[in-house]
Every structure is written in structure tokens, then in C-alpha cells.
């Protein structure tokens, strides 16, 4: 294990000091990153002390410090999980070969593309969320937003390190472009669809961190399987931080649901908008939107890119080594969703080509778990939330171009137009949700539309000054 150099200009456990050229290259990218952070990171609170977790090590325990820090002074660093001795590639045509410590020449372009797509999402989400600090429902939530933001920044660092260290000149150019594309920019947008959608309010933020960060969990877990060992180790450590982001989403939506149930019981009505709560129908529409754009992030049902990544040993399946098959998938087949005779149906496809779908299946099963928890609360008022049909509101894959209801029925354009307002957030929903978004910045207080969390952060009380105002 390489020791963590925490006091270096760029904290790291990759022995950066031993490679002067690389160190200089990254140190020249560092001010561009900080400039980007100040320009396109959170629009306020940059000079405030925030109770942040900072990665300082990669072990099981004590890998992070908690302290008040000003965001631009956050110690963004490069941390790879410890190397596994004699690690072998666990799938694909190189099954059983020693994992690569350098980029194999024949897979350079594919690996670079994977690293770039992954890296691009990280600053994108910070850009999407930059205005949320104006309207946080509590200091606890404000701090969680900033925690998520600084860690997405660190995840960008994780990918930029790989680009600089392993991809030479074009890697450095790609690293610069990470700061040049911007979420929603018509000329230079972010690469993947969901990362160009705005995150205009906190309800959207909670659903984004539940559904879209969960795509991050599954993509990172697949990249952790990579035969390219530095990518695998980097993703392993990123997943540790990522868990908190999904916690923010799962508990965030859970707290909104809890408050909704309280208000419904108190006022004996589903129409709790007049009492400052979010009604269940609105929650379902927000869920439908964030779920469907996140489901798109897995790509098409069958993909030669995905097959090639797997065969080459670059990107595996979720929990690859726990699967009881040959880990090559040359002969295996599976069903994938398809439109058959104009209706949602299935077709048979080679498992190798269908790996995006396999990952999407794992993701959907994971999404369902949170719903079950929220629905336990909602059962007290006889209501529930559900995931829409996989073909609903899709822009990528077999269902793109079809109008499919949440129940899975193919609709004409006019039937869709007539019902879409019941299924996706309307302008009225957005303006109602916006009307609830008022900052609550007295320690311990909470906005009316969301219940307080069960506990504070790192054993601190709920009325702790998570952000010093």
C-alpha cells in the first residue's frame, strides 16, 4: 500500500511526488478546477464554514475527517483503494490473466471513452445543483448538498488522474474538456442526457440523488470489475463516498413522504398543498420523471459497445464474481424488452450484447427497495408510489419514439398529450414546488414540507451549526 500524502498540494496515495511530470501536469490542472468550482459550483456560501467529510485514507475505518471547512479550501485528492495482490481479470476473453497496471494499447480508445463518460457526469451534477443552496430546507440539508458537491468534485479528480497518468496528451486534453462542457449548454452540453436536465428544486434533488446517483453506483460497480486495475481501484474508493449520496436521496424522499403522511392524517385529505405539503400525485410525477431519465442512462437494450467492453475485460457486470456462469457469455442468451407488433414485448438477444439491460435490471431491483420503504409510510394513508413501466418516457433504446403510459400501454400522440400532465410534472407542479422552496437557515429548524432526519451527521445533534451562517 502506498502511504497517503495528505499534506501534498494534491493529497494522494499514488506516490505523486515520485512522478514530477505528472505532478506538474495535475498541479497545472488544479487552478482550472478551482476556477471552475468558483464559477460553476454552488452560487453562495463559498466563504462559509461547512461541516464536511474529507477523505484522508482508504482503510475500512477512519478514512475520513469531519471538520468545518470553506468549500474552495476542501482538500480534493486522489485516492485509490488498496491493490489486491495478484489480482486476475474476472470475465471476458482475458479471464484469468493478471489485471493490467498500464492501459493495453488495443483498448486505449474504449478505456478513454469510459473514463471520459464517467468523469463528465461528476462536474455536471455540481453544475445542475448550483442554485439549490439558495433554498435549502435546513442547515442539515444544506451541508449534505455541499458534501455531495465536493465529493462529485473529488470523483472528477479521480477520473482526471487516470486521464493524466495513463492517456498522455489526449488524456490531458480530455481533462481540460471536462471543465469546458457544461450542463444544459446548447453548444457544449454534458455527454449523457440526464446531466443536461436542470435540478431546480429540492424535491428534484432528492429524486436525482435517489435515482441518478444510483446509476452512478451501478456503473461504478461495473467499472470496479475492470481488468484495468487503476480504474478498478479508483471506482472501489468512489463507491465508498457514493453511498452517502444515495443516503441523501433515500432519506430525503423518505422525509418528504413522512411529512406528506403526517399532513394527510392531520387534515384528513389527500389535498395537502394548502397546508404546505407535497401531495402523493405530485411525488409520483416527480418520481416518474427522474426514474425514466435515469433508466435511459444505461444505454440501449443491446449494444456492441457494451459487448466489446465486456469481452475486452474493461467493464464487467454488477458483482461479477458472485455470478455462477462462465463469465465469458459467448453462447448465453436472454430476453430483452422490445416493441413487438407495436406493443411492449420481449425478444431474445445474446447476453453479451444485452449487458446494458442486465445492469439496468439490477438497478431497477435496487430502486424498488427504497419504494418499499416509502410505501410502508404511505400505507398508513392507503396510498403508494410505484415505478412506471420501463418504456415510459424513454429517449434511448427500443422504446424511444413511442408514447408509453406508466402502465405499459402504447398510446397515440393525442392520447399521450391528453394524459401526460397526470404522469410527468406540469408547470403548475413546478410552480407549486418552487413556492415551497424557502431557505430555513436557523440551526435545528426545518421547512414545512419535509420531516426532520432521524439523526444528525457524525453523531452531531440536529441543531448543530452544520453550516456557519
Any idea what the Cα angle at residue 450 is, between residues 447 and 455, rounded to 5°?
100
Which of 11, 42, 216, 391 binds ligand BYC (CB under 6 A)? It is 216
Which of 138, 144, 212, 351 binds ligand BYC (CB under 6 A)? It is 212
Does residue 152 belong to the site contacting ligand BYC (CB under 6 A)? yes
User: Which three cell numbers, joined as nine digits, stand for 350?
Assistant: 445474446
Does residue 122 belong to the site contacting ligand BYC (CB under 6 A)? yes
User: Which three cell numbers, joined as nine digits, stand for 207?
Assistant: 429524486
142, 143, 145, 148 alpha-carbon torsion, rounded to 10°: 180
User: Which three cell numbers, joined as nine digits, stand for 144?
Assistant: 449534505
Which of 74, 100, 206, 298 binds ligand BYC (CB under 6 A)? It is 298
Ranked by CB distance to ligand BYC, the top (closest) residue is: 299
Residues 31-60 that bind ligand BYC (CB under 6 A): none
User: Which three cell numbers, joined as nine digits, stand for 219?
Assistant: 456503473
314/253 Cα distance (integer angstroms): 35
User: Which three cell numbers, joined as nine digits, stand for 451?
Assistant: 420531516
Which of 156-164, 177-185, 210-218, 402-410 is the region at the interface with ligand BYC (rule: CB under 6 A)? 210-218
Which of 64, 117, 239, 381 binds ligand BYC (CB under 6 A)? It is 117
Residues 402-461 that bind ligand BYC (CB under 6 A): none
C-alpha separations of 77 from 28, 70, 166 in Å: 14, 16, 17
> Residues 58, 4: contact at Cβ < 8 Å?
yes
Nearer of residues 148 and 440 to ligand BYC, judged by Cβ: 148
Q: Which of 457, 460, 435 is nearest to 447 (CA)?
A: 435
The DSSP 8-state label assigned to residue 175 in this structure reads: H
Which of 104, 189, 193, 439 binds ligand BYC (CB under 6 A)? It is 193
296/311 Cα distance (integer angstroms): 23
Which of 81, 231, 295, 306 binds ligand BYC (CB under 6 A)? It is 306
154/37 Cα distance (integer angstroms): 11
Which of 97-105, 213-221, 374-382, 451-459 is the region at the interface with ligand BYC (rule: CB under 6 A)? 213-221
> Residues 115, 159: contact at Cβ < 8 Å?
yes
CB 342 to ligand BYC: min, Å: 23
Nearer of residues 280 and 367 to ligand BYC, judged by Cβ: 367
Radius of gyration of the chain (CA): 23
171/161 Cα distance (integer angstroms): 9
Which string of x and - marks every residue 370-409 that binds ligand BYC (by CB under 6 A)?
A: --------------------------x-------------
Does residue 250 belong to the site contacting ligand BYC (CB under 6 A)? no
Does residue 192 belong to the site contacting ligand BYC (CB under 6 A)? yes
- Residue ranges binding ligand BYC (CB under 6 A): 114, 117-118, 121-122, 125, 152, 192-193, 212-213, 215-216, 219, 296-300, 303, 305-306, 315, 356, 396
Amino acid at each position: 500500500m502506498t502511504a497517503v500524502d495528505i499534506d501534498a498540494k494534491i493529497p494522494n496515495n499514488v506516490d505523486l511526488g515520485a512522478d514530477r511530470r505528472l505532478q506538474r501536469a495535475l498541479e497545472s490542472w488544479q487552478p482550472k478546477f478551482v476556477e471552475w468550482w468558483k464559477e460553476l459550483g454552488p452560487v453562495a456560501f463559498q466563504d462559509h464554514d461547512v461541516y464536511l467529510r474529507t477523505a484522508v485514507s482508504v482503510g475500512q475505518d477512519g478514512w475520513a475527517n469531519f471538520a468545518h471547512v470553506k468549500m474552495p479550501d476542501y482538500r480534493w485528492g486522489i485516492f485509490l483503494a488498496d491493490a489486491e495482490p495478484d489480482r486476475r481479470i474476472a470475465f471476458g476473453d482475458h479471464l484469468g490473466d493478471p489485471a493490467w497496471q498500464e492501459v493495453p494499447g488495443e483498448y486505449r480508445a474504449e478505456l478513454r471513452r469510459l473514463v471520459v463518460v464517467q468523469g463528465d457526469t461528476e462536474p455536471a451534477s455540481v453544475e445542475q445543483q448550483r442554485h439549490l443552496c439558495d433554498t435549502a430546507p435546513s442547515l442539515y440539508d444544506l451541508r449534505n448538498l455541499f458534501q455531495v458537491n465536493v465529493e462529485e468534485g473529488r470523483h472528477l479528480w479521480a477520473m482526471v488522474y487516470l486521464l493524466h497518468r495513463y492517456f498522455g496528451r489526449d488524456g490531458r486534453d480530455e481533462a481540460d474538456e471536462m471543465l469546458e462542457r457544461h450542463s444544459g449548454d446548447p453548444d457544449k452540453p454534458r455527454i449523457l442526457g440526464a446531466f443536461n436536465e436542470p435540478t431546480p428544486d429540492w424535491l428534484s434533488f432528492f429524486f436525482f440523488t435517489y435515482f441518478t446517483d444510483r446509476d452512478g453506483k451501478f456503473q461504478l460497480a461495473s467499472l470496479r470489475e475492470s481488468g484495468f486495475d487503476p480504474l478498478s481501484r479508483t471506482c472501489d474508493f468512489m463507491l465508498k463516498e457514493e453511498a452517502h449520496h444515495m443516503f441523501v436521496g433515500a432519506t430525503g424522499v423518505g422525509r418528504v413522504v413522512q411529512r406528506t403522511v403526517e399532513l394527510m392524517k392531520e387534515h384528513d385529505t389527500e389535498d395537502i398543498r394548502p397546508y404546505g405539503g407535497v401531495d402523493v400525485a405530485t411525488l409520483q410525477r416527480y418520481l416518474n420523471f427522474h426514474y425514466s431519465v435515469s433508466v435511459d442512462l444505461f444505454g440501449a437494450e443491446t449494444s456492441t459497445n457494451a459487448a466489446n467492453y465486456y469481452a475486452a475485460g474493461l467493464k464487467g457486470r454488477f458483482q461479477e464474481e458472485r455470478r455462477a456462469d462462465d463469465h465469458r457469455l459467448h453462447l448465453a442468451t436472454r430476453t430483452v424488452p422490445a416493441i413487438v407488433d407495436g406493443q411492449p414485448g420481449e425478444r431474445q438477444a445474446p447476453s453479451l450484447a444485452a449487458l446494458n439491460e442486465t445492469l439496468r435490471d439490477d438497478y431497477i431491483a435496487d430502486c424498488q427497495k427504497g419504494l418499499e420503504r416509502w410505501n410502508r409510510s404511505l400505507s398508513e394513508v392507503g396510498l403508494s408510489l410505484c415505478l412506471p413501466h420501463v418504456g415510459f418516457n424513454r429517449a434511448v433504446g427500443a422504446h424511444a419514439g413511442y408514447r408509453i403510459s406508466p402502465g405499459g400501454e402504447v398510446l397515440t400522440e393525442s392520447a399521450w398529450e391528453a394524459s401526460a400532465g397526470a404522469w410527468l410534472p406540469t408547470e403548475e407542479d413546478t410552480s407549486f414546488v418552487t413556492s415551497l422552496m424557502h431557505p430555513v437557515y436557523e440551526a435545528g429548524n426545518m421547512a414545512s414540507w419535509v420531516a426532520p432526519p432521524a439523526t444528525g451527521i457524525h453523531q452531531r445533534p440536529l441543531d448543530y451549526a452544520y453550516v456557519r451562517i
